[in-house]
Structure 1
Amino acid sequence: MINLLSRIFIKNRKDYMNPIVRQQYGILCSAFGIFLNLLLFAAKLTGALITNSVAILADAFNNLSDAASSLVSVIGFKLSGKKPDADHPFGHGRLEYISGLIVSFLILFMGIELVKSSVVSIIHPERVDGGIFSICIMGAAILVKLYMYLYNHSVAKKIKSPAMEAVAKDSFGDMISTSVVILSVVAGHFTSLPVDGIGGLVVAIFIFKGGIESCKDTINPLLGLPPEKEFVDEIEKEALKFNPIVGIHDLLIHDYGPGRMMISLHAEVPGDQNIFDLHEVIDCAEFALSKKFNCSVVMHMDPIDTNNKRLEVLKSIALEEAHKIDRRFTIHDVRMVPGEKHTNLIFDIVRPHDCRLNENELKEKLFAAINSRENDVFSVITVDSPFVL
């Protein structure tokens, strides 16, 4: 159904990273989710009134909260598509994350309310008249939620939306909670225990757990996440296509919401070539990366000495000794200043956040290691943190 609707309502529907296409997918899937959740709410509410089941009633109001969540998602996708203005020069893309956070709070609130009603049902149990009708409603609801999970998960991957992935996870959790409701209704025929209230409590716990996970999924992008290694490698591969760029470092990735990313990096180029020719290469590389990754790209030209054999040897030694400490270390901006009594080897080293050595310990250990192999070399080391955000 989503495929059919996207063919009808979304132009260039396979251009998933286009901000307009992303927005249209988000609104379409959320609007369809509102329709399905209201349908499920009506069906389950009818079943709850007929059977007098707290568990089914809890599951019904869970679907009502899902409909409200989808409405918030529609508003979030709509507002996040607003163009940059004087007060928000980087656009409004993070509103998508904020809408996902609001959805998470709604899920948590519903979970707390259902815990209360389920505890009351356990303390003061009432007879549940569960029958084939209510079980059929629950079974159909599981199939509908499975479909909602599949289409939300599929579209979330295509448009890279954590808000939609949170909705998909919520739908998967609903499948489990509805299965629990079916079990509680069936078990109510064979025991005097308050299985209906217990079932409602289990549903509430699943809802609350889903709300916590959704909070994490939407808060993390707001705080800032490191990009995937594959994405960083892809940026480097694309930059190195432009001769004479020989390497990149100090990569910064700022995420102002899906489709609103800014990249800055230092591109290493031979220092003995014409500066105007190099500048033209950098301009071409910036343009190519911005087109490929649909973002703003700024490249700093960093000239290096590529013809100094002594420097290459010292660079190799520094990298070897760094890798003995931690294979994840990288070094850059390596240069050499010869003197009468010693040579200064100047370079930056990128230290992972979870490195067991602090900054001073790392400098001292690496200095000693290099000096033990080249006793006329004094290392001047700057420790960088990973600059990918």
Structure 2
Amino acid sequence: MINVPPLKPAERDRLLKLATYASVAVAVLLIALKSSVYLMSGSVSLLASLIDSLMDAAASVINLFAVRYALKPADHEHRFGHGKAEALAGLAQSAFITGSAVLVLLQGIDRLLNPRPLDSAWLGIAVMLFSIAATIGLLLIQRHVIKRTGSTAIRADSLHYRSDLLLNASIIVALLLAAYGIQRADAFFGLAIALFIGYSAIQIGRDAVQILMDRELSDEVRAEALQLARSVEGVVNVHDFRSRQSGHDWFMQMHVEIPAQTPLVQAHDLGERVRARIVERFPQTDVLIHTDPV
């Protein structure tokens, strides 16, 4: 749960589209380069990286459509907006990443049992160095976008690309060892990468499921919201506080206790003051207040 500063809708749309377009472009470029070198070298670890890039491209395309859908305003059939499309995209990414991990695992086992020398290992190393540079550039863009928007889909995509840095570095080590005659190193590194990719998939899927299941916002955010509500003059206490997240939007609802003799108009104004104070601190929040006489 990321607390983000106020951001105009047009600026948020621009940043999300920038991140998704950049992700697709980097994935497609790396697929073209890795495919060519894999056909020349036959490296399992390079195949792992190629499959990972193919999954990146598929996940990025899903992200592209999911983010565009999530940016649509609330309508008659979706009164709470379309923000959960981002969590669905994260769940789809998890499935893609898991599939790539299984495929690489099987290929690594086969190459471990049937080792063979690699060709064009140095060319593969050059491609992996370029991949690292391109990935770092993309991560810098994604980091800026996540900081400004708090997007679940972009955060999931960024997690995968961060794991790619370790993956690409390990592939360089595997290719270096293979170039000096240690053939099984390529297969061992491929197996290790597959397990690491699978672990990343579990993390992404878990976060997406929590949002789809309407998990409460973080304890820190909830505690601060309660403190803000109770700090309004005239509020006796607050109970039945609930919260959830849908894409960029947060939703909070609470029962505000006020003196029983408070006139209806004043009770309404008091509830509005509570709502305004919370929204001032968390602008992305939709707050529903119910007043209880005590």
| TM-score after normalising by structure 1 | 0.68
Residue 53 in structure 1 maps to residue 43 in structure 2: yes
CA distance in 2, matches of 1:71, 1:21: 21
| Cα distance in structure 2, aligned partners of 1:85 and 1:273 | 36
Q: 2:42 matched to 1:65? A: no
Question: Structure 1: which amino acid aligns with 2:63?
Answer: S
Query: Residues 289-308 of structure 1: CA distance to partner in whole angstroms, max 9, x if unpaired?
Result: 3465333322222233xxxx
CA contact (8 A) 2:215 2:244 kept: no
Q: Which has the higher helix share?
A: 2
1:122 corresponds to: 112
Alignment of 1:163-312 (within 5 A): 163-255=153-245, 257-290=246-279, 292-304=282-294
Secondary structure in 2 matching 1:176: helix
Q: Give the conservation status (yes or no) of the 8 Å contact 2:238–2:256.
A: yes
Task: Report the Cα distance in structure 1 between the residues aligned to 2:148 and 2:182, rounded to whole angstroms.
Answer: 49
Which position in structure 2 is the counterpart of 1:375?
A: none
- Please tell me whether the aligned partners of residues 163 and 197 of structure 2 are also in contact (alpha carbons under 8 angstroms): yes
| Matches for 1:27-38 after TM superposition, within 5 Å | 27-38=17-28
| SS of residue in 1 equivalent to 2:63 | helix
- Quote the offset at 1:111 in angstroms: 1.4
Distance 2:290 2:75 in 1: 27
Quote the residue 1:160 is aligned against: 150
Instruction: Tell me if the contact between 2:122 and 2:175 (Cα under 8 Å) persists in the aligned partners.
Output: no
Query: One-letter code of the match for 1:48?
Result: Y
Aligned length: 290
Letter in 1 for 2:50: A
Aligned-partner SS, 1:276: helix
Q: Which moved more, 1:51-60 or 1:286-295?
A: 286-295
Which amino acid in structure 1 is aligned with residue 190 of structure 2?
A: G
What RMSD over aligned residues (CA atoms) do the two structures have, in Å?
2.4
Contact 1:20 1:81 in 2 (8 A): no
User: In the aligned structure 2, how far is the partner of 1:303 from the partner of 1:82?
Assistant: 39
The one-letter code matched in structure 2 to 1:120 is D
Q: What residue ranges of structure 1 are gaps of 5+ in the alignment?
A: 1-13, 305-389
The structure number with the bigger radius of gyration is 1
Matches within 5 A, 1:78-157: 78-157=68-147
How far off is 1:241 after superposition?
4.6
What is the SS of the residue equivalent to 1:293? coil
1:260 shift after superposition: 3.4
Which letter does structure 2 place at the counterpart of 1:174? D
Distance 1:236 1:271 in 2: 21
Once the two structures are TM-superposed, the CA of residue 163 in structure 1 deviates from its matched residue by: 2.1
- Bigger drift between 71-80 and 19-28 goes to 19-28
Provide Cα deviations, 1:342-363, integer angstroms capped at 9, x if missing partner.
xxxxxxxxxxxxxxxxxxxxxx
Shift of 1:130: 4.1
Mapped to 2, the partners of 1:273 and 1:103 lie a distance apart of 52
- TM-superposed CA distance for 1:101, in Å, is 0.8
Q: Which position in structure 2 is the counterpart of 1:378?
A: none
- Cα drift, residue 16 of structure 1: 5.3
Give the Å deviation of 1:58: 2.2
**Higher relative contact order structure (alpha carbons within 8 Å, sequence separation ≥ 6):** 2
Identical counterparts, % of pairs: 22
Q: Which runs of 5+ in 2 are unaligned?
A: none
Confirm or deny: 8 A CA contact 1:18 1:259 kept in the other structure: no
Q: Give, in angstroms, the shift of residue 70 of structure 1.
A: 0.7
